[in-house]
């Protein structure tokens, strides 16, 4: 390989290292347990009450229609909660304005809740998750990818 060829390869490698390939994904915070199997965003519930996983599943490549799943786990972040929360609701900040999304228990997933199909955006969810756990109302700000 001549000097120009080597130089071109080195420049391309440096450029790829600086720019990178693909999207920047958030890294788990130190001490955060490995997440469950839904491949969603795992967030701690305030007060050391466990974890919640939020998944926004696109239903079409041509629209922003999706279905949202919310899964509640014990402190190990793997075991579904033994006593599911109540009044599970998301308030999403969307370009068209804030939208409330009510979630119903998912009979296929203990501790899981599902939204109806709706215009929830592609993937990222910004807003807050509200629920009652052990009689305590909890408001959890969310920002997921």
pTM of the model: 0.74
Q: Rounded to an integer, what is the distance from CA 136 to the centroid of its chain?
A: 23
Q: What is the pLDDT of residue 20?
A: 41
Exposed, middle or buried: residue 55 (CB in 10 Å: 0-12, 13-18, 19+)?
buried
Q: What kind and span of H or E run contains 52?
A: strand 51-58
Tracing tokens 């839904």 back to the chain, one arrives at: 38
pLDDT band at 44 (very low <50, low <70, confident <90, very high): very high
- Confidence check: pLDDT of 145 > 80: no
| CA-based radius of gyration for the chain | 20
Give CA–CA dist 93/59, Å, rounded: 20
pLDDT for 33: 54
Q: Where are the domains of the chain?
A: 36-144
Average pLDDT of the residues of the chain: 79
pLDDT at site 61 = 83
Class of domain 36-144: mainly beta
User: What are the tens digits of pLDDT across the range 94-124?
Assistant: 888 899 999 999 999 999 999 999 888 767 8
Q: What phi, psi does 128 have (nearest 5°)?
A: -145, 150
pLDDT at 71: 95
pLDDT digits (tens, 9 = 90+) for 15-26: 444 344 433 333
* Three-state SS at 98: strand
Q: What local confidence, expressed as pLDDT, does residue 36 receive?
A: 62
3-state secondary structure of 10: helix
Q: Which residues pair with 140 in a beta bridge?
A: 129
């Amino acid at each position: 390989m001549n000097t120009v060829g080597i130089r071109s390869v080195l420049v391309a490698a440096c450029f790829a290292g600086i720019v990178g390939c693909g999207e920047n994904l958030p890294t788990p915070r130190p001490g955060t347990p490995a997440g469950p199997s839904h491949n969603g965003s795992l967030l701690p519930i305030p007060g050391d009450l466990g974890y919640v996983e939020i998944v926004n599943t696109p239903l079409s490549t041509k629209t922003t229609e999706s279905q949202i799943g919310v899964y509640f786990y014990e402190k190990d972040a793997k075991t579904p909660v033994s006593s599911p929360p109540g009044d599970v609701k998301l308030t999403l900040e969307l370009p068209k304005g804030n939208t409330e999304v009510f979630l119903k228990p998912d009979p296929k997933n203990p501790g899981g809740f599902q939204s109806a199909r709706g215009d929830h955006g592609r993937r990222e969810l910004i807003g807050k998750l509200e629920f009652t756990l052990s009689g305590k109302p909890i408001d959890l700000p969310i920002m997921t990818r």
